Structures are given as C-alpha cells and as structure tokens.
Structure 1
C-alpha cells in the first residue's frame, strides 16, 4: 500500500503551464515507461492536456529527437529535420483525406 500524501501537492502541466493539485494530474514519463519508477522524477500533465495526447507507442522518438538536436534550432529548422528523419526511417508521409 502506498503511503498517504500529506497536504495537497501542486504540480505544473508541462504542456500548458497550468498549476493543479497532484491528484488531479497525470504523470508523464518521456521514456514511455511510467511503471519502472526507480530513480525517476516525473513531469505532469493536466487532465485536459493528457486527453489531447496521442496515446500510441512512441518507440524511438527520444532517440530521433536527440539525433536531430531538438531544442537547439528554430522551429522551422526542427520541423524540416524531423520530417526528413521520419521519412528516411519510415517512408513517405501520407495525409489522410
């Protein structure tokens, strides 16, 4: 059994910046393995932002972001690099009609 939390811990949603009580938020683990809790600290999402997420597996996403140096270039450069890398790994992107 987990020990009871004392008081109301407040966390900040990493997507929208809203502060909310911890028990009203969802844990986010950038590695997609929230069950392996050893030596981890989690970021949090408010319930609204969590519902808007794609909940499909994201295998290789972190490696891809590191490879294209996400966070070290402007938005346009990042998006161009991301699309190129995705097409090289998985083939051409097709839009759904």
Structure 2
C-alpha cells in the first residue's frame, strides 16, 4: 500500500470532533464503499471512534435516513419513526449471542 500524500494533514473526527493528524485517522465513507474512490470526498474518524463503530454493511441506510428527515426532526420523533420502519421492513431488532 502506498503512503498517503496527506499524512501530515490535520483532519477532524466526525464522531468526537477531535483534531488528529491524517495518519492517525481512518477514512469513513457514508456510502460504505471506501474502495471506489472516483469523485469521492471522505470524512474521517480518529482510531478510537473508528474502533467503536459498527462495521456491519449499511445497505439502504443513507436512503432511509434521508426518507426520515434525519437531522431535521427532533430526536425522539426520529428514533420512533426509525424503529417503526426498520421493524416493518426488516423484522424485529434482536441481538444474537
């Protein structure tokens, strides 16, 4: 793998807001396809926040968030709508152990 030309660049973690050097950050692609780099601008997470992320596929997530006006409605209304639609489309949310 080739080293980044911007390794000394400072970036902001989208999760915690901390400024870190680019070399100490991880690329985050909201579409879940970090390998397709054509015309793409990445956001970044510090290593700690990146480790805390869920790394499961998130197909359809961005479209669902847009459909539910994420960031435009109050938190409780958004979460209620989100859970209702997810259970309707994908079934009950349950953790498997």
Instruction: Specify if TM > 0.5.
Output: yes
Aligned length: 97
TM-score (ref. length: structure 1):
0.89
CA RMSD of aligned residues (A): 2.1
Q: 1:90 to 1:5 in 2, by over 3 A?
A: same
State whether structure 2 residue 72 is matched by structure 1 residue 72: yes
Q: Note the C-alpha offset of 1:60.
A: 0.8
Q: Distance in 2 between matches of 1:16 and 1:44?
A: 11
TM-score (ref. length: structure 2):
0.89
Structure 1 unaligned regions, length at least 5: none
Q: Distance in 1 between matches of 2:94 and 2:6?
A: 50
Q: 1:14 to 1:4 in 2, by over 3 A?
A: closer
Structure 2 unaligned regions, length at least 5: none
Q: Distance in 2 between matches of 1:46 and 1:6?
A: 15
Q: 1:66 to 1:7 in 2, by over 3 A?
A: closer
Which secondary structure does the structure 2 equivalent of 1:48 belong to?
A: helix
Moved over 3 A (4+): 1-4, 94-97
